[in-house]
Structures are given as C-alpha cells and as structure tokens.
C-alpha cells in the first residue's frame, strides 16, 4: 500500500546512491520536482533512465548526479541540443557519463518486458542501424517458429521509478490522463515507485477520458507536489511552458549560467522552474 | 518568382513540395520539425482526411498550431484517441498499420540512410546529436518513407558518421538482405529540388528543380557527385492557397508558443 509522505522523505527513503532510477513522462507529466529533490539531496552515482532525457536529466547530469544514462532521444524538443548532456558526453563535465543508447521502440518494449516480469524484450527492430555496434545490450535472436531475426534487449528493471500524475485518492490509488507515455510500464517494472501528484481527491471520478489507474498496492510513496511537472505540463492543470524550453538553450549552453540558474531555482529549495 | 503567388522563401517551397506528396488516404507517422510542418499543411489544404500519428501515442491528431515537441497537449486534445507509447510502437508501427513515415535527420547519404546520432566518432564525438528517437523503427516499419531536409554539403554527405536509420543501405541493396519488406525512402524533398531513387541502383537523383534553382546550385550543395534524371521537371511554384495556409499556420504557432521557433 502506498504511503503519503513529503517529497524530501520519499527521495531519502527510496532513492540511494548507485541506484537505477527511472523518471518517466513522455514530454507530458515529467517529474521535475522530484528530480530537483534528488539534486538537492546530492544523491550521486545514479544510472538515470528516461526515453527522452529532457531538461530534467540535463539538470541532473549537469549537477553531477549521474554515472550512466540509458536513453533513446536526447534533445530539447523543438529547440535543439541538451547542452549539459553534450558537455558530459563530449568533454566529461562535470564527470564522465557512460551512455547506453537505444531507440524509442526498444525502450518502450524493454519497460513492457520489465512490467511483465520477462528477462528481455523481443521485437522487430534495429534492422540496418549502427546502434547494435555500439550497444552490447542489443542482440538478435531467431524466432523459434518462423526463423525471423528479431532484436532483443534486456528488460528495464529500475530500482525505483518516479512519475508525476494528476490525482491520487485517499487510499493512494493514482490516476493519469492525457498523453500517458510509458508511466504504467515504468512503475510496474520497478522494485519501488514514487508518484508525485497535483492533488488528493476523495474519489477518482470517471469523468474525462483516456485515464490510466494504478492501484495503491503498486506504489510505495505518494507525494503531493502541485506544479511538480513544470516546466512540462499536466493535462487539465497547466500547459507546457514552451517559452522556458526555448530559454533553457541559452541557460544550459554555458557552465556558469547553468550553475547560477541551479543555485537560484533548485538549491535554494525553490519550485524549480522559472 | 511566380506572379500568381508572389515571392516565397526556399524553405516555404520545400515545405509545400513535401506536403503535396501526402494524400487523403495516407496514415502518416510524423517526425518533429520540418516533417511536422509539411504534414499539417497537407491536412489543412488538399488532404483533410490525412491521418497523422505522433510517437507520443496521439492517433489522428488535428493540431491548430504546430507542436514544439511530439508530446504537446494540443496533440492529445485534438486526437481521435491517445494510446500509450509501448502500444504506439508495438501495435501501430510494428503492426505495419502506417503507410508513410515522414522523417528528417542531421545527415543523409545518396541511398537515403540517415544519421541523427553523432558527428565524428561515436565514443568521442565532435557533435553529440539527439539520437534515434522513433526513427530507427519508423524507417523500417512504415510502408514507405518520405524525407525532407535542407540541402547542404555538410548534411548531404558521401559517408554518414553513423547510420541511425536504414534507407536503402550502404550500397543501396541492403533492405532485402536484412529481411525488410517495406519500401524505404522513396522521396527526398529539399529546399532546392525533389529527388527519388533511381530504380536500378536506389541512388537518389534529382527529378525536379524548384523554380529558379540551377543544377550547379544542387551540385554545390551535395556532398556526393549528384545525378540528374533523364528528364528534370520544374517544381510547380507555391499557389496562393498553399502559401497563405502555411504562413497562417506559422503565425498561429508563433503566437501560441510565445516565441518564434524553428520550422
């Protein structure tokens, strides 16, 4: 059963140095507040897992939290590069970053395999791509029935997955709506799960559409963190701050500007977005 | 340029020429950036029933403005339905439900292979690019692939630094050998010309020049010795309807995002 705790308690109890930590949310519902708390608690040596690292991993990598990154698309959507990620890969700043690089299809399949308790995912992928040459976790296997060559990748099994959702009820069940990404698979694939939410409600109503419900017994901790996905967005609550995504390009391009921004907006204990 | 439509930019010509390739019957997997503008322009002009899918899981989305990311709220709010990302890649893409994948990339070679991963050596890259995203499986899972890219010798290269997504393969003949049944890249639209693969070699050659563009410009902007088809047409100039629709779309997009963004 999930427990209601503060963000600081959730992170200190369930996120430890050296862990494999997934923070999911496909453009939508990115758990920024939780990522910032990990930075503030200076938890290091993490293997960070996200299909799209986005600004939150740019910040965590720039802050030195990550030893390794598992990802499939590392850009600032519609804007350009993630400069802190590039600085780590190209110039090892602030520390060397090992990368394990996949395609979206592979990561989606690998989370689904983790949720299903399978050791690996099998799919029609990576044909004619150079990615298998640089990632030893991509292999090929013959289908035992047809002989077709299929790609195989290990299931993703994070030590802890952190996601953001719109609502939880008082029993700790959680409801997501809008673009639902890989949140359900990432939670079910993990040993522990933390969910930050916009609000607690008496009852998860059946209004709206396209909802995903996760029962309380699939989650360890629920944290009330209104605005916890900013500058990404929460369908039905607030919009994506596209202007901030554009502005981040200049902030992150330079190490000093980046550190000043982090001091002012993250280390000071602020909400984290501009 | 053309009197009926007034003046237009090379980028506008490229987007409009790319949009014209899509039909009302297509189900199209949309890449972000240049493809997204072309796909939505097609839907807003000659192909109102064109089904657009983004990798965030939005099926038959009808955004009023161009999304900045593939997961903007606008895409979900205007979609017929939104599925999870694993479902998107398993049932819809891998299940071969999609007729056209519309892609771009940082580098393309003469056989339509794409690089969106690194410039230089993978282990010590000169430039670290975003990576595959959906592209690697889009390139093999859709019935055919259309490409749209700005023409430049640094992007139209003799040799890719890294082959992220399969076109026709390093010699133009690898798809069949890899067991890939789909057609691969059949169209490449640039800001200078339209190219299609020559049937015998699968090497992209110029089949139409945009109005006012010379062969010499295309040769100078291509990093391999580019071939021209026996017959090279002139791309019809943008109509006033196409131009107006595209400019309205960009104006609405800029207003919505509070900033002028890329294509």
What is the C-alpha to C-alpha distance for residues A273 and A227, in angstroms, rounded to an integer? 9
CA distance B4 to chain A (A): 33
Tell me the CB-side half-sphere exposure of residue A18, using CA atoms within 13 A.
0
Whose CA is closest to B47, among B71, B66, B30, B28?
B28
B window 163-192, beta carbon within 8 A of A: 163-166, 169, 174-175, 178-180
Q: Provide, rounded to the nearest whole percent, the portion of chain B with pLDDT above 90.
A: 91
Q: What residues of chain A lie within 8 A of the CB of B137, using their CB?
A: 103-105, 124-126
What does the DSSP assignment read for A177-228?
Answer: -SS-TTHHHHHHHSSEEEEEEEEEESS--S-SSS-EEE-GGG-SEEEE-TTT
- Model confidence over A75-88: pLDDT tens digits? 999 899 999 999 99
- Please tell me the predicted confidence (pLDDT) of residue A208: 60
- Model confidence over A230-252: pLDDT tens digits? 999 999 999 999 899 999 999 99
Task: Check residue A41 and report its DSSP letter.
Answer: T
- Model confidence over B140-178: pLDDT tens digits? 999 999 999 999 999 999 999 999 999 999 999 999 999
- Please tell me the predicted confidence (pLDDT) of residue B262: 45
- Please tell me the predicted confidence (pLDDT) of residue B31: 86
Which positions of chain B have pLDDT values less than 70? 1-5, 258-263
**Residue A206's pLDDT band (boundaries 50, 70, 90)?**
low
Q: Give the C-alpha distances (Å, rounded to integers) separating B84 from A32, A155, B23.
A: 21, 18, 27
User: CB distance from A206 to chain B under 8 Å?
Assistant: no
**Residue A210's pLDDT band (boundaries 50, 70, 90)?**
low
8 A C-beta contact, residue B137 and residue A134: no
Q: Give the C-alpha distances (Å, rounded to integers) separating B8 from A169, B45, B151, B234, B242.
A: 55, 18, 17, 16, 11
Six token digits for residue B85 = 């990302």
| pLDDT of residue A73 exceeding 60 | yes
Dihedral, A25, A26, A29, A31 alpha carbons, nearest 10: 40
CA distance B200 to chain A (A): 20
CA distance B216 to chain A (A): 31
CA angle B96, B100, B101 (to 5 degrees): 90
Q: Residue A148, Cα to own-chain centre: how many angstroms?
A: 33
Q: Do A181 and B71 touch (CB under 8 A)?
A: yes
Other CB atoms within 10 Å distance of the CB of residue A209: 10
What is the C-alpha to C-alpha distance for residues A48 and A60, in angstroms, rounded to an integer? 9
User: CB distance from B106 to chain A under 8 Å?
Assistant: no
Of A129, A180, A240, the CB nearest to B164: A129
Check the CA dihedral B173-B177-B182-B184 and report its sign. Answer: negative
8 A C-beta contact, residue A178 and residue B76: yes
**Residue A209's pLDDT band (boundaries 50, 70, 90)?**
low
Q: Give the C-alpha distances (Å, rounded to integers) separating A81 from A76, A87, B117.
A: 5, 10, 12
What is the C-alpha to C-alpha distance for residues A5 and B91, in angstroms, rounded to an integer? 38
Helix (H) or strand (E) run with residue B195 in it: strand B193-197
- Model confidence over A151-204: pLDDT tens digits? 999 999 999 999 999 999 999 999 999 999 999 999 999 999 999 999 999 988
| pLDDT of residue A273 exceeding 90 | no
Six token digits for residue A250 = 């200049």
Q: What residues of chain B lie within 8 A of the CB of A109, using their CB?
A: 86, 89-90
- Model confidence over B109-123: pLDDT tens digits? 999 999 999 999 999
User: CB distance from A6 to chain B under 8 Å?
Assistant: no
Whose CA is closest to B164, among B105, B229, B111?
B105
- Please tell me the predicted confidence (pLDDT) of residue B257: 79
b/e B173-200 (16+ beta carbons within 10 angstroms → b): ebbeeeebebebbbbbbbbbbbbbbbee
What is the C-alpha to C-alpha distance for residues A126 and B88, in angstroms, rounded to an integer? 17
Q: Which residue of B has its CA nearest to A241?
A: B257
- Please tell me the predicted confidence (pLDDT) of residue B33: 81
Q: Do B72 and A51 touch (CB under 8 A)?
A: no
User: CB distance from A46 to chain B under 8 Å?
Assistant: no
Q: Is B55 a catalytic residue?
A: yes
Q: What is the ipTM of this complex?
A: 0.95
Check the CA dihedral B149-B92-A229-A12 and report its sign. Answer: negative
Cross-strand bridge partners of residue B144: B100
- For strands A149-154 and A139-142, give the pairing: antiparallel
What is the C-alpha to C-alpha distance for residues B94 and B12, in angstroms, rounded to an integer? 33
- Please tell me the predicted confidence (pLDDT) of residue B2: 41
What is the C-alpha to C-alpha distance for residues B197 and B235, in angstroms, rounded to an integer? 17
Burial class (CB in 10 A: 0-12, 13-18, 19+), B225: exposed
């Amino acid at each position: 059963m999930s427990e209601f705790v503060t963000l600081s308690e959730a992170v200190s109890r369930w996120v430890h140095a050296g862990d494999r930590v997934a923070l999911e949310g496909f453009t939508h519902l990115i758990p920024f507040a939780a990522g910032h708390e990990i930075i503030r608690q200076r938890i290091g040596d993490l293997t960070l897992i996200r299909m799209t690292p986005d600004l939150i991993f740019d910040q965590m990598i720039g802050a030195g939290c990550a030893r390794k990154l598992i990802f499939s698309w590392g850009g600032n959507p519609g804007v350009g590069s993630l400069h802190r990620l590039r600085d780590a890969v190209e110039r090892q700043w602030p520390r060397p970053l090992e990368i394990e690089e996949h395609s979206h299809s592979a990561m989606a399949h690998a989370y689904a395999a983790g949720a299903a308790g399978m050791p690996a995912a099998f799919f029609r992928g990576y044909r004619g791509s150079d990615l298998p040459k640089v990632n030893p976790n991509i292999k090929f296997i013959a289908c035992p029935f047809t002989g077709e060559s299929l790609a195989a990748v290990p299931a993703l099994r994070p030590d802890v997955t952190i996601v953001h959702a719109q609502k939880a009820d008082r029993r700790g069940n959680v409801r997501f709506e809008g673009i639902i990404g890989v949140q359900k698979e990432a939670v079910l694939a993990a040993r522990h799960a933390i969910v930050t939410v916009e609000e607690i409600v008496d009852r998860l109503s059946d209004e709206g559409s396209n909802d995903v419900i996760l029962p309380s017994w699939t989650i360890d901790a629920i944290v009330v963190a209104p605005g916890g996905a900013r500058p990404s967005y929460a369908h039905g609550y607030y919009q994506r701050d596209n202007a901030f995504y554009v502005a981040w390009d200049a902030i992150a391009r330079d190490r000093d500007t980046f550190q000043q921004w982090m001091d002012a907006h993250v280390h000071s204990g602020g909400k984290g977005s501009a | 340029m053309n009197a009926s439509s007034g003046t237009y930019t090379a980028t506008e010509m490229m987007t409009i020429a790319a949009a014209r390739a899509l039909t009302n019957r297509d189900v199209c997997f949309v890449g972000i950036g240049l493809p997204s503008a072309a796909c939505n322009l097609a839907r807003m002009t000659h192909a109102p029933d064109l089904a657009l899918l983004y990798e965030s899981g939005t099926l038959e989305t009808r955004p009023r403005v161009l999304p900045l990311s593939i997961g903007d709220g606008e895409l979900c709010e205007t979609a017929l339905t939104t599925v999870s990302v694993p479902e998107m890649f398993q049932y819809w893409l891998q299940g071969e439900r999609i007729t056209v994948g519309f892609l771009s990339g940082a580098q393309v070679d003469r056989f339509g292979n794409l690089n969106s991963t690194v410039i230089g050596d993978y282990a010590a890259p000169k430039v670290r690019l975003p990576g595959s995203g959906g592209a690697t499986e889009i390139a093999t899972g859709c019935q055919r692939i259309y490409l749209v890219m700005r023409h430049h010798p640094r992007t139209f290269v003799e040799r890719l630094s890294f082959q992220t997504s399969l076109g026709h393969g390093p010699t133009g003949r690898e798809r069949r050998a890899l067991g890939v049944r789909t057609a691969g890249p059949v169209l490449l639209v640039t800001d200078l010309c339209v190219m299609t693969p020559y049937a015998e070699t699968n090497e992209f050659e110029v089949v139409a020049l945009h109005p006012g563009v010379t062969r010499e410009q295309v040769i100078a902007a291509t990093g391999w010795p580019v071939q021209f088809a026996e017959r090279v047409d002139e791309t019809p100039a943008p109509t006033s309807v196409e131009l107006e629709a595209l400019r309205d779309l960009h104006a609405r997009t800029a207003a919505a995002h509070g900033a002028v963004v890329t294509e």
